[in-house]
Structure formats: C-alpha cells, structure tokens
Amino acid sequence: MADMFSSATAYEATMGRWSARLAPLFVHFAAIPDGGRVLDVGCGTGSLVSAVAAAAPHSAIVGIDQALPSVQYARTRFADPRITIDHGNALDLPYPTGSFDHTLSLLVLIFIPHPEQAASEMRRVTRPGGTVAACTWEREGLEMSSLFWEVARRVDPESAARAERPLRLNQPGQLAALWHATGLEDVEESVLEMRMDFTSFDDYWQPLLQGSGSGPNGVYVAGLSPAHRDALRRALQERLQADRPDGGFSLRAKALAVRGVVPQVP
C-alpha cells in the first residue's frame, strides 16, 4: 500500500479531485460546529483540512499523515496560521488524551492495517462530548475504480486478480459496527453520493500514467507491460465512451460515512 502514497502530485492528479469534491459533503454530515480544535487523521494532501477550514473559519485544524510526501505537499498548500500539518502514525497519535474537540478521517481507514486501533486513538484524543467521524468509499460505489477493475479483469484476468484492493470498512454497516465497538455513542452511518465529470478520455487516463503514487489503479497500470497497458487503455476507452467517442463523460461515486460521540465522563 505504501506505493500508492509515494507521490503527492500523482495522487492529486488522480484521486485528489475526488476527495476534494467529497470532503465538503463529509464535513456537512459530520456537523462539526465552528470553533475549537479539529484533527484530521490521515490528512493526505489536505482535501479535508481545506473543507473544514472553509466550513469552520474560527476552528484550529491539525492534520496528520504517515506519508511524508503528502505531509510536505500539504504544508506548502496552507498558509493559514490556524492550520498545522504533522507527520505521524494514526495507530499512535502523538497528542494528549482529550486534546481535540472533534476528530475526522477521510478515505483512510480502509488502508490502515489495524483500523480498530486507529478508531480507538481517534476516540482517545477527542474530548468527552466531541464528535469522531470517518468516511470511506463504498466497495462498488466508486465507478472510476469499479469500471476500471471490470475491464482489467476482462483484458488480463490473471494480473487483475493480483491487484491489491481493500476489503474492509467499505460495505454498509461496517463503519457503524467499528464505531460501536470503539465505545462511541449516538452512532449514525449514512451514504454520500456525488459525480465527477471528465472532459475527455485522456482526462481520465493520463493521470493513471503518473506512476505508483496515483492510487491502486495507477499502481496496477505501472506494473503492466506496454502491450498490456495499451490493450487496457483501448478497452477502457471503449467501455467509457462507447456512445460518445470524442466527448466527455461523468462517473458516479458513493461513500459511506459514520459519526459518533465520545461518552461524557460519569
């Protein structure tokens, strides 16, 4: 999984546009009030940090991520003195207990090897009465990915079968179950839906060629031979533009979001 986050610019070109569009929907669902301190666990290149900053102009925001390229990218992105970007591990957050009013995580938990520990850490650093919320792509709800793997399996079943895809916390009920197991109260899970427009097939395809930092699809494309890569390109273009060979198209996305509250101290 580390290769997927080795290049912040490649990530931004592929999945960054999706996370930037999803982040405001997630912030609205999380219902974070303005003011106080907000932590973004697995902040990546800063899509959620940006959305929180816009929605809560009086809040102090801390982002933390284990991928140093993403941390370095995010630090150059924000000049707002309310925003701090730290380098650290979601499984061992370097903050005192109860030091944040609210803790969020966008599109990260499916990649963490021990998400129950990450959720526990998110609860620990959040004060009693504070909100803890997370969001992941629904397993088959991201058309950019599901259509890609549908075509990849058809073109090269053996290679596509070896592709690494997360299998946890991306089906309805799984996030809510984790939040209940973490001891959070007033747990609510919801579905967030959006669309992404592409001006052309190249708008979809070219970012996948930027290397192993461009997400799971880019990792797979980078490992193909030139002949297999070209066959995949042609098959994807036919699948995505069958009725409009020279035009744009849009793809749907569905994410699962959960929120809960840290219990008040008796």
Domain boundary assignment for the chain: 2-261
Nearest to 91 by CA among 126, 72, 66: 66
**Rounded mean pLDDT of 219-235?**
91
The pLDDT confidence band at residue 2, using thresholds 50, 70 and 90, is very low
Residue 3: φ, ψ to 5°? -60, -30
163, 152 in Cβ contact below 8 A? yes
Domain 2-261 class in CATH = alpha beta
Residue 245's pLDDT is what?
A: 64
pTM value is 0.90
Query: How far is it, in rounded angstroms, from Cα 83 to Cα 91?
Result: 22
Lowest mean pLDDT among 47-56, 81-90, 146-155: 146-155
Q: What percent of the chain has pLDDT over 90?
A: 67
